[in-house]
Structures are given as structure tokens and as C-alpha cells.
Amino acid sequence: MFPPLTLPNGSTLPNRLAKAAMEESMADNGQLPGPAIHRLYQRWAQGGTGLLITGNVMVDSRALTGPATIALEAGTPLAPFTAWAQAARQHGAQIWMQINHPGRQVMANMGGLAWAPSAVALDLGKHSKLFAQPVAMSAANIAEVIQRFGDTAHAAEQAGFNGVQIHAAHGYLLSQFLSPLTNRRTDEWGGSLENRARLLLEVVRAVRQRVSARFSVAVKLNSADFQRGGFSEDDARQVVQLLNGLPVDLIELSGGSYESPAMQGRTADGRTLAREAYFLEFAQALAKVARMPVMTTGGIARQEIAEQVLASGVAVVGIATALSVAPDLPQQWRAGQKPTATEPPVNWKDKTLASIATMALVRRRLRALGTLGAAAGNSAGGALNPLFTLLIDQVRVAMLTRRYRKWRAQSVG
């Protein structure tokens, strides 16, 4: 796990362990990173992880996954982002910014844009109305989004980040274009897989044109949507082959969406995932055709599983929730310890609420680490009550939504 890895662009990761993206929902007013998130990443930097990938940083402040999501656009003040990068790089880790557009996965009460390839709304049963009705994008909208990804990547490099990860998984905008369930266009952006992948490829090209050669450009891709008729494993293989022709430094394999949260170990199509390393089987297959290193994430919390991932031919192990429980997990593994770094699953009958509660639990632990910072111990606290956590999270989100809408109104004014 601990030898360095040299990427195609010549830069080197200090080890094979990566903190995979978790949406922190810790933005200060103006959707900027502040002291809490700086302390959080300083904590992970001290913990021995070689690559830190941030949670969602949105390329358009009008389209956020939540009211405390960070956004970085052309003209956004860079000083808070510079401080973020400096905190993360203190102990030799690389810090990559995950850049994203949510597409249709925008809460209705946010009052923002819900652009999508086609006007296909989220289907979450009785919870569907929580999300905005999507609007099919025009050619001008698509061109703007491509430009925005390039702008954000350029700003990330100016702020001192080592790379960006373009988010094309989990049902966000680029993933929506890839999936035939959400992309019903008949123009050059829809239909065949080559057309559905066009936006992702154009975004990669736009980003690469705006950054230096040693700045890393990665892609997060679904191994599958885990929905019947959706983006499939064969589709993923073909997209990886298309990406082989571009200067991509790493591909992370994940899976699922809000409708089928496979990234939490649950699927909508009935397939059973492994208890840890959910997507390892898919990643192994795709690593055989990928010309760049492959990383996989999904429930990894034990050293023996991390070693199994690397032994299978996958180059980087992505760890997410376990690092919210034990932020110094790599250090403990290196010292020969076997810490417990798992959360009890939320097995409620209402699967949508269970998914929301699971995310709320992670956010609560991240906020605790950001508050305690370097003073935190080897964990972010004991077991948390999911129902209580969900309730306080909903109150917090309501307050932050009011703050966001007020900020947006002032920005427009």
C-alpha cells in the first residue's frame, strides 16, 4: 500500500491510498471553503493518506447538490481555496479537487438550475418532489458547462491544488449524459454511446487545455448505473477505451446514483454487492483495458481488503466513510494496528430516507473532525444515532438553504 505511484503526467503519489470524495457540506457564506474544512483536510493530511480528493466542488453556483456545497467559478476569490490546498499538502499528500455539475440532482427548495440532457425527473417515489423538475439543455447550455469545467480546473491549479477529478458518476450531469435512462436526446449529444460520451470527452479536453502538463486530470466513472436499461459494464468499458486516447492520469470506478445508491452498497436492479470493495470485480475488468491507473472505492475499511484490491491489479485504493471514522487509518495500518473504522448500516424500510440518513451521518462526523482539527484523536467519536442525526441535519439544511437563497439573490442583484 505504501510504495509511491507515478502517474502518466509524471507526478508521483506518495502511496497507493486515496481519500475518496465525500461531500462535506461545510461551505462558508458565499459557498467558499473556510477554517473548518481547512482543519478537516489538515487532519487527513496528518493521517498518512497519499491522495486527498475533495468532495464536490461545483462549477456553477446556481446549481448545487446542497446549500453548503462549495463552488468555484471564474472570478471566485482564490484565497480560501489556497488555504485549503496548503492545509492538505502540509505532510506531502497530493490534493485533487473533485469538480462537478449536479444536473437534475438539485433540491427543489434551492431555487437553482436543474439542467439535464433531457427533461427526465428523478424517480424516488413519494420523495421525488424533493428534487427540481429538470430542463433539457440547449447547445448553448452545453457549451457553457464545458467552459465552466475548464474555468474551475484553471482556478484550482492557480490556488495550489495538484489536480482535478472530473465527476462523471453517481447520476450527476456527466453521468446523466452517459446513461440512456436520462439521455433521450436525438442530436450529437445523445443516442449512441459515442454521442452520449461526447460531453465527458469534451470536458476532459477543455480541462486539459486550461491546466499545465504536470497538473493531474482524473475522471470518476460509474462501473454501472445498477438500474435496468441504464449505463452498463460494457458501456463503461467502451468509455474507458475512449478515455485512453486522452491525457487522463487516473480513472476511479464507482457506481450508482440517487435512484440506485450503489455507492452505499444498495442497488435498484437487485444485484448484490460485496460487503467491502463493492466495485472491485468491475474495476479488475476495466483495469485490463485502461492505459491509465485505475482506482476503486466502495465500503473499504480493512487493511486486508485494501491489500486485496491492490493485488487484483487495481493501482489505487479509495477509502471514504472509514476515513470519517478513523482519519489516521493509513498511519494505524502502517503501525500494524487493526482499528474499527465502520459505521453500522442504516437498514430502514424507506430506502431513500436510509440513504439520506447515511449521508447525514458522514457529514456529522466530518463537521466534528473539522471542529476538532488536529486536536482530534484516532476517531471522530462513538456510534451516532441515525434518526437524531437525520433530524438535526434537516434543521441545519433548512437554515443553510435560507442563507444560500439570500446570497444568490444578493449576487444577482
Taken in order of first residue, the domains within the chain and their CATH numbers are 5-412 (3.20.20.70)
Q: How many CA atoms lie within 13 A of 51 on its CB side?
A: 34
Euclidean distance between CA atoms 376 and 361, whole angstroms? 18
Euclidean distance between CA atoms 144 and 142, whole angstroms? 5
Euclidean distance between CA atoms 249 and 386, whole angstroms? 38
Q: What is the 3-state secondary structure (H, E, C) of 344-383?
A: CCCCCCCHHHHHHHHHHHHHHHHHHHHHHHHHCCCCCCCC
Which residues have CB under 8 Å from 310's CB, separation 6+?
Answer: 1, 16, 317
Q: Residue 273: what pLDDT?
A: 47
| Helix, strand, coil tally for the chain in percent (to 5) | 40, 15, 45
The per-type count for the chain, helices as H runs and strands as E runs, is 13, 14
53's grid cell: 480528493
For the chain, residues with pLDDT lower than 70 are 224-226, 256-257, 260-278, 372-382, 413
Which residues have CB under 8 Å from 37's CB, separation 6+?
Answer: 24, 26, 27, 70, 84, 370
Which residues have CB under 8 Å from 35's CB, separation 6+?
Answer: none
Q: Residue 384: what pLDDT?
A: 85
Are 96 and 153 in contact by the 8 Å Cβ rule? The answer is no
Q: Residue 374: what pLDDT?
A: 44
Helix (H, G, I), strand (E, B) or coil at 42: helix
Instruction: Write out pLDDT tens, residues 154-176.
Output: 999 999 999 999 999 989 999 99
Q: Residue 151: what pLDDT?
A: 98
What is 307-329 written as a DSSP string? HHHHHTT-SEEEE-HHHHH-TTH
Euclidean distance between CA atoms 327 and 340, whole angstroms? 12
Nearest to 207 by CA among 252, 174, 171, 232: 174
Based on its alpha-carbon atoms, the radius of gyration of the chain, rounded to whole angstroms, reads 19
Euclidean distance between CA atoms 319 and 137, whole angstroms? 34
Euclidean distance between CA atoms 271 and 351, whole angstroms? 15
Q: Residue 361: what pLDDT?
A: 92
Q: What is the DSSP letter of 28?
A: B
* Distance from chain centroid for Cα 227: 20
Euclidean distance between CA atoms 56 and 137, whole angstroms? 21
- Helices 79-89, 139-159: inter-axial angle, 10-degree rounding: 60
Instruction: Write out pLDDT tens, residues 26-60.
Output: 999 999 999 999 999 999 999 999 999 999 999 99
Residue 305: which H helix or E strand, with range? helix 303-311
Which residues have CB under 8 Å from 102's CB, separation 6+?
Answer: 56, 58, 63, 64, 65, 114, 172, 173
Are 220 and 21 in contact by the 8 Å Cβ rule? The answer is yes
330's grid cell: 493509513
Q: Residue 317: what pLDDT?
A: 96
Nearest to 169 by CA among 242, 226, 103, 221: 221
Euclidean distance between CA atoms 298 and 405, whole angstroms? 34
Q: Residue 158: what pLDDT?
A: 98
Q: Residue 33: what pLDDT?
A: 98
